[in-house]
Amino acid sequence: MPGQFVPAEEGVGLQLDEQGRAYRKGYFLGDGTGAGKGRQIAACILDGWLAGRRKAIWVSKNESLLEDARRDWSAIGGLAADIQPLSNWKIDQAVPFREGILFVTYPTLRSQRQDATRLKQLLDWAGEDFDGVIAFDESHEMGGVAGGEGARGTKSGSLQGIAGVLLQNNLPNARVIYASATGASEVNNLAYAVRLGLWGPGTAFANREDFISQIRAGGIAAMELVSRDLKALGLYQARALSFAGVEYDILKHDLTAEQIAVYDTYADAWAVLWRAAHKMAYREEAVMRRNAA
């Protein structure tokens, strides 16, 4: 990315510094469901592996996806044992895994206790000059990093989003891949993608907050422009499986009188609960007003 940066002392941003370091640009893999994003992540890691970069970090949604990662890695010639979950080691324990792929979930990445954090454990293992792949599978799981307005007012940034951005900020030479089928659906789903160079020097946006506010104000049309420009720069791709040749039949089921009666009973029960919830809300509001008077 243009310029030299250091991680900000507060928050999750990068700040310009002449004594800072250059940050390698990342790539957004936005292929749709079933297109093989896991296999492509494995191939990117294998490319570095054959070039001598024998450490990589694979971040994903939950532990059940570990076997999917091993399957994709094995399918292109790797060994299942090359991928080990970070949760195999205690949070304050040095990882003795000298080379291979560390698999870590977003909840694990954000976990911490008073004297240790999983993020620091991961950074210590990678080393300051780490130049391998960091693959953020299901990267939209970091989408809450920017916080913003929610149904119950202003929300602070999510801990797993913050941890994911700090991982990127502390390893400037890393080859970062974001993989998500919903990358360009909402501006918050790009707020964590600091390596795409969407804001900062050489762009139309001074910082992440400026980018988010302006793109959000522009709506879907603005997001489409961002996607177009990222594709033109070679930083984003979003392919989908073709439905050419697919045939389907419509199966119609006529409800029986008994099934209709069961549905009506459930609907009546929900109506009772809905009315009760409204009554409770009105009572709580009346109590709050009385106490405030």
CATH code for position 73: 3.40.50.10810
Helix (H, G, I), strand (E, B) or coil at 84: strand
- Band (138; pLDDT cuts 50, 70, 90): very high
Are 33 and 69 in the same domain?
A: yes
Q: What is the mean pLDDT of residues 138-155?
A: 70
Give me the pLDDT at residue 28, please. 96
Are 223 and 265 in the same domain?
A: no
CA distances (Å), origin 263, targets 168, 268, 273, 277: 51, 9, 16, 21
Percent of the chain at pLDDT above 90? 67
Give CB contacts under 8 A, 24+ apart, made by 270-274. none
Q: Looking up tokens 């609960």, which residue turns up? A: 273
203's enclosing H/E stretch is none
| Count, residues in the chain | 293
Mean pLDDT of all residues belonging to the chain: 90
Quote the DSSP letter at residue 212. H
- Band (259; pLDDT cuts 50, 70, 90): very high
Question: How confident is the model over 85-137, as pLDDT tens digits?
Answer: 999 999 999 999 999 999 999 999 999 998 899 999 999 999 999 999 999 99
pLDDT of 3 over the 90 cut: no
Q: What is the mean pLDDT of residues 241-264?
A: 94
User: Considering the domain boundaries, does residue 40 fall inside one?
Assistant: yes
The amino acid at residue 144 is G
User: Considering the domain boundaries, does residue 247 fall inside one?
Assistant: no
- Comparing 286 with 280, the larger pLDDT belongs to 280
Residue closest to 238 by CA, chosen among 16, 12, 19, 35: 35
Are 86 and 127 in the same domain?
A: yes
- Domain assignment of residue 260, given as a range: 252-293
In the chain, the number of structural domains is: 2
Are 148 and 280 in the same domain?
A: no
pLDDT of 190 over the 90 cut: no
Instruction: List, in sequence order, every beta strand (DSSP E) within the chain.
Output: 5-7, 14-16, 27-29, 55-60, 83-85, 100-105, 112-113, 116-117, 133-137, 148-150, 153-155, 175-179, 236-237
Give me the pLDDT at residue 155, please. 60
Give me the pLDDT at residue 93, please. 94
Are 182 and 55 in the same domain?
A: yes
Are 13 and 137 in the same domain?
A: yes
User: Considering the domain boundaries, does residue 168 fall inside one?
Assistant: yes
pLDDT of 151 over the 50 cut: no
- Band (71; pLDDT cuts 50, 70, 90): very high
Distance (Å, whole) CA 5 – CA 22: 6
